[in-house]
Amino acid sequence: MVPIINELLITFHEKRINSIKTKINFNENYLPIKLQNITEKSEKKIKFLTLKAQERILPFEIAAGVESDYLKGKYNFHLDKINDKYYWKERAVKASASRKNLDPKDQVQTLLEEKNLEIKKLNNIYFPATSNDAKTEYNNQKAVIENELNSKVSLITETLNKKIAVTEALTQSKIDKLIVAKARLNEKLEKLTSKKEERYSLDQDVVLSIKNLSMHFGGLKAVDNLSFDVKEGEIFGLIGPNGAGKTTVFNCITRFYRPNSGEMYFKNIYGEVVHLNDKQVHNIIKEGIVRTFQNVEIVWELNVVDNLLVAAHTIYRSGFFGHLLNSRLLRQEEKVMRKKAEQILEDLSLGAYKYAYPLGLPYGILKKIELARTLMANPKLIILDEPAAGLNDAETDDLAKIIKKIQKDYNTTIFLVEHDMGLVMEICDTVCAISFGKKLAMGTPKEIQNSKIVQEAYLGGE
Amino acid sequence: MICKNEVCNDRKAKIHQITHHPYFGFFIITFLMLMVQLLRVIGVPISITLLRAFGITMIYIIVALGFSILLGYAGLASLGTAGFVGIGTYLLGYFTKNFGLSIFLVIVISILGAIVIGGIVGFISLRIEGMYLAIITLGLSEILNEVFKNAVSITNGTNGLGLNGILVIFKNPVVVNHNTIFIATAIIMFFMMVLTLNIIKSPTGRAFLAMRNSTSAAQAMGISILKYRLLAFVVSTVYAMLAGVIYMSYISFSIPTTWSLAFSLNILAAVIVGGSQSIYGIVLGTFMIFGLNLGVLQQFSFFQNNPAISVVFNGLLIILVIMFYPGGLIRLVNTTYHKLKKIVLKLMTKWRVYRYGSDN
């Protein structure tokens, strides 16, 4: 009885710790967006105030005959308007004259005169005769207005700085509180776990461990007593002839199939070892395993960024009612996620396709979008099912570069099944060869290339 | 730099912000509906049948919105809509007549009931997909129809259950003006549209679409099929039952023959004809299937005397739309809008060339 309660408590605490971690992550990511919004708002305000002040100074400038940039700009604006108006009038006159086979000279002349008159009027408004009194008046007024403006602007910047400091402090205090809560929970968890008998353990550098995995469909043994370890941070390739059971292994790891026997252990994003056999299909992603499929599985009705957001589904904290009412938390989360998705797309040089719809994009791009999508869920292990299938040589080279980049920049382990031996030998750190569900050999690409058993399996024995 | 221009731009930007707000279109639709009522109040001769046609169409828009979440987003075909709307009508009728419950309480009860019924059907949908699900829900609808016919103590059987315009708003039964309910219906429709848009644009809507495209990919992305199938059915059932309650309060009469298979098929047709993934499309489709019949065709004595012909008319419309515009009528509207824009631009340039001469 007691161990069951213990177990339940442990899972409860783990869940709470995970939610706290996501909260901390969200707060950290949302801070820059919030700050940017605040600064943009106050910048807009300052711009508006300066414009207003300049408008107030303008009559005095005109009276004093001071040619400031603002005055010149406004004058030029009106001048351009007049020029434009008479340009079109002239064209209309010429066109109508040519239609009637008349000489437009007289009419053009009168138009020119009218235009000159209007420009003169404008000049009179903007550059009237000046007097010294007006100059002193201008200087006085300018000083007053600029003082006012400066005080207002400094007030705004002050409040802005205050706001920034407050929001930073608030977020920080929130994060601190969360960290404290997390530490407390961790302590409790440690106490609980110390009571319990040994949990699963893995070697330090191993991420995924498959032990004696077997899977048969009826009489066919698709996977037969297979065991291997995937080390942290490496690119692991699983190769084998057609029908060797590679995809079955994948489907067992991601729980689409339930293996007949065998154990699978995985060190998840939080550094805990979990028994994958106990997990459900849709919970695998929460542990940090993301997979792609042989044929691209993209949502065709959504644009590329939204497609990426689908993979972030488990990271959202807002629930259905939040979604229904478009709650504030959801809007904040959407901003954070969108920024992250755009960042990932830029990183993988897919920035041009951000808001494109996937229907009609080249196959190579779609494959890359699928790769980008896996990164949205903060994965620890990415499982790629034949990433190069259907790509040409140039696209495959590109893909190899991107896979290497993902492994390096995002600190992930990559586990792939591939038929393209060139790609496997180029990027993989470790290769495991299987045939008819049985392991043939495992080692570096060179070792596999030179292995006789593997050659036999591929080319047939003598 | 130039103040006048800046202010001008600012105003333009504000107007742009309002007109391009995602809820603006819904507001316009609701406003037009309210205008119909207002014109009648002012004294414009709008017949009571036409007004009722608008009211009923608005109620059916709510049903179609729920159905579009189910069909267009979650990809689940269901023919049980009529039964659910029927339950909503009888809930209000029964509770008002026998217990004198407030309509708000009945709405809460109907939402709770919808959650239970939607949950059950959603649970069935886990094992059965596509056509088979449609047949199962069809069977459910027929069972419900038989229940409506035979549970005489609750539904008054084939004679139909009438309330004679009596409703219990808070405590005492009162005779409620049709116009009030019309306005309330328009406002509820507006909020249902807003809620639908919120669901569609949120992670939940994306999860529905992912599920519709490929269940295995959705599962790999962390989307629980159980949860979202149940959710889709519950949402659509809540919409349907709420619409049923509003229908009963507006029409004050419910008869089992209304809630037959034909109604479910008409809702399906409305969603497909309009465009199953666009809210405006659904409004358009519902007006095409129900509004045209109720509001326009029934005004002519020819169609009144031969009701079967209007069904033929609907059938022809569906065939034409599905043959030429598989994306729904909203696609047609969009393409014609863009074409018209192009034509207008062309004419403008032609006129300019005539007025001002060509550029060189």
Q: Are residues B274 and B354 in the same domain?
A: no
Does one domain contain both B230 and B242? yes
Q: Per mean pLDDT, which of A4-8, A87-91, A193-197 is the most reliable?
A: A87-91
**Chain B residue with minimal CA distance to A54?**
B3
> With contacts defined as CB-CB under 8 Å, which chain A residues touch B214?
293, 297
Residues of B in contact with A323 (CB under 8 A): 198-199, 202-205
Domain housing B77: 22-327
Q: What is the mean pLDDT of residues A217-221?
A: 84
Eight-class DSSP state of B172: S
Among chain A residues, CA nearest to B4? A74
- The reply to whether A166 touches chain B by the CB within 8 Å rule is no
Contact indicator for A38, A105 with CB cutoff of 8 Å: no
In a domain, B192, yes or no: yes
* CB spacing of A326 vs B217 below 8 angstroms: no
Could you tell me if B106 and B211 lie in one domain? Answer: yes
> In the predicted model, is pLDDT for residue A387 greater than 50?
yes
Question: Is A403 within 8 Å of A418 (Cβ atoms)?
Answer: no
Per-residue pLDDT tens digits for A17-72: 888 888 888 888 889 889 999 999 999 899 889 988 888 888 888 888 888 888 88
Highest mean pLDDT among A44-58, B123-137, B232-246: B232-246
Query: Do both B266 and B244 map to the same domain?
Result: yes
Phi and psi based region of residue A331 (left: phi greater than 0; alpha: psi -120 to 50; beta: remaining): alpha
Q: What is the pLDDT of residues B49-84, one digit of tens each?
A: 888 889 999 999 999 999 999 999 998 888 989 999
Summarize the confidence of residues A11-20 as an average pLDDT. Answer: 84
From chain A residues 245-264, the ones with a CB under 8 A of any chain B CB are 254, 256
The ipTM assigned to this model is: 0.86
Residues B131 and B206 in one domain: yes
A282 touches chain B (CB under 8 A): yes
Q: What is the pLDDT of residues B24-47, one digit of tens each?
A: 999 999 999 999 989 988 888 888
Closest residue on chain A to B205 (Cα): A323
Chain A, window 291-350: residues with a beta carbon less than 8 angstroms from a chain B beta carbon: 291, 293, 297-302, 306, 309-314, 316, 318, 320, 323-326, 330
Of A282, A298, A302, the CB nearest to B223: A282
Angstrom distance (rounded) from CA B216 to CA B226:
13
Judged by CB atoms closer than 8 Å, whether chains meet at B207 and A300 is answered as no
pLDDT, tens only, A287-324? 889 999 888 889 999 999 999 999 999 888 888 999 99
Who among B202, B222, B355 is closest to A323 (CB)? B202
- Check whether residue B138 and residue B206 sit in a common domain: yes
| Interface contact A290-B219, CB threshold 8 A | no
B263 and B336 fall within a common domain: no
Cα A458 to Cα A294, A446, A462, B170: the distances in Å are: 21, 16, 12, 80
Which of B105-114, B268-277, B292-301 comes out lowest in average pLDDT? Answer: B292-301
Q: Does residue B65 sit within a domain?
A: yes
* pLDDT value of position B6: 54
Instruction: Please tell me which of A137-151, B153-167, B283-297 the model is most confident about, judged by mean pLDDT.
Output: A137-151
Two structure tokens written together for A456: 């036999």
B158 vs A401: CA distance, rounded Å: 72
At a CB cut-off of 8 Å and minimum separation 6, what does B340 contact?
A: none
With respect to residue B15, please indicate whether it lies within any of the assigned structural domains: no
- pLDDT confidence of residue B163: 84
B125 touches chain A (CB under 8 A): no
Is residue B17 in a domain? no
Q: What is the DSSP letter of A358?
A: S
Domain membership of residue B12 (yes or no) is no
Widest pairwise Cα distance in chain B: 86
Chain B touched by A74 (CB under 8 Å): yes
Each residue's pLDDT tens digit, B293-337:
877 777 777 777 777 777 787 788 888 888 888 888 888 899 999
Of A74, A285, A302, the CB nearest to B220: A285
Asked if B90 and B42 sit in the same domain, the reply is yes
pLDDT at B5: 52
pLDDT band at A9, cuts 50/70/90?
confident
Residues contacting A234, CB < 8 A, separation 6+: A413, A414, A429, A430
In this prediction, residues A343-363 reach a mean pLDDT of 91
Q: Does residue B40 lie in a domain region? A: yes
Q: Which are the contacts of A378, defined by CB distance < 8 A and separation ≥ 6?
A: A269, A288, A315
What is residue A197's predicted lDDT score, i.e. its pLDDT?
53
Q: Is the pLDDT of residue B2 over 60?
A: no
On the question of pLDDT at A446 being above 70, the answer is yes
Tell me, yes or no, whether B53 and B131 share the same domain.
yes
Question: pLDDT at residue B87 above 90?
Answer: yes
Question: What's the rounded Cα separation, in Å, for the pair A450 and B226?
Answer: 49
Closest to B243 in 3D by CA, of B80, B86, B14, B47 = B86
Q: Can you give the pLDDT at residue A437?
A: 83
pLDDT of the residue at B357:
80
Residues B232 and B351 in one domain: no
A418 near A239, Cβ under 8 Å?
yes
Asked whether residue B13 is domain-assigned, the answer is: no
In this predicted structure, what is the pLDDT of residue A382?
93
pLDDT at A136: 86
Interatomic CA distance for residues A138 and A67, integer angstroms = 12
CATH code of B88's domain = 1.10.3470
Cβ–Cβ gap A293/B223 under 8 Å: no
Across A197-201, B102-106, B336-340, least confident range: A197-201
Long-range contacts of A254-257 (CB under 8 A, 24+ apart): A254/A281, A254/A284, A254/A289, A254/A291, A254/A383, A254/B220, A255/A279, A255/A280, A255/A281, A255/A284, A256/A281, A256/B216, A256/B219, A257/A215
Mean pLDDT of all residues belonging to chain B:
88
Q: What is residue B312's predicted lDDT score, i.e. its pLDDT? A: 82
Ramachandran bin of B331, using left for φ above 0, alpha for ψ from -120 to 50, beta for the remaining angles = alpha
Q: How does pLDDT run across A138-167, given as a tens digit for each residue?
A: 888 888 999 999 999 999 999 999 999 999
Question: Nearest C-alpha of chain A: how many angstroms from B67?
Answer: 16
Same domain, B293 and B358: no
Do residue B2 and residue A306 have CB atoms under 8 angstroms apart? Answer: no
Give me the pLDDT at residue B289, please: 87
A340 pLDDT band, cuts 50/70/90, is very high
In terms of residues, how long is chain B?
Answer: 360
Residue in B closest to A293 by C-alpha: B217
For residue A8, give the amino acid letter: L
pLDDT band for position A196 (50/70/90)? low
Q: Are residues B91 and B169 in the same domain?
A: yes
Residue B309 sits at the chain A interface (C-beta within 8 Å): no
Q: Quote the mean pLDDT of chain A.
A: 87
pLDDT band at B1, cuts 50/70/90?
A: very low
- Give the rounded percent of residues in chain A with a pLDDT score beyond 70: 98
Task: Assess if residue B14 is contained within a domain.
Answer: no
Please give the pLDDT value at position B9. 66
Asked whether the beta carbons of residue B202 and residue A291 sit closer than 8 angstroms, the reply is no
Is pLDDT of B238 > 80? yes
**Chain B, 187-216: which have a CB under 8 Å from a chain A CB?**
195, 198-199, 201-207, 209-210, 213-214, 216
> Number of folded domains in chain B?
2
The region that residue B56 occupies, defined by phi over 0 for left and psi between -120 and 50 for alpha, beta otherwise, is alpha
Structural domains present in chain A: 206-459 (3.40.50.300)
Chain A nearest-CA residue for B278? A301
Burial of A225 (0-12, 13-18, 19+ CB in 10 A): middle
Range in A228-237, A313-322, B189-198, B299-308 with the lowest mean pLDDT: B299-308
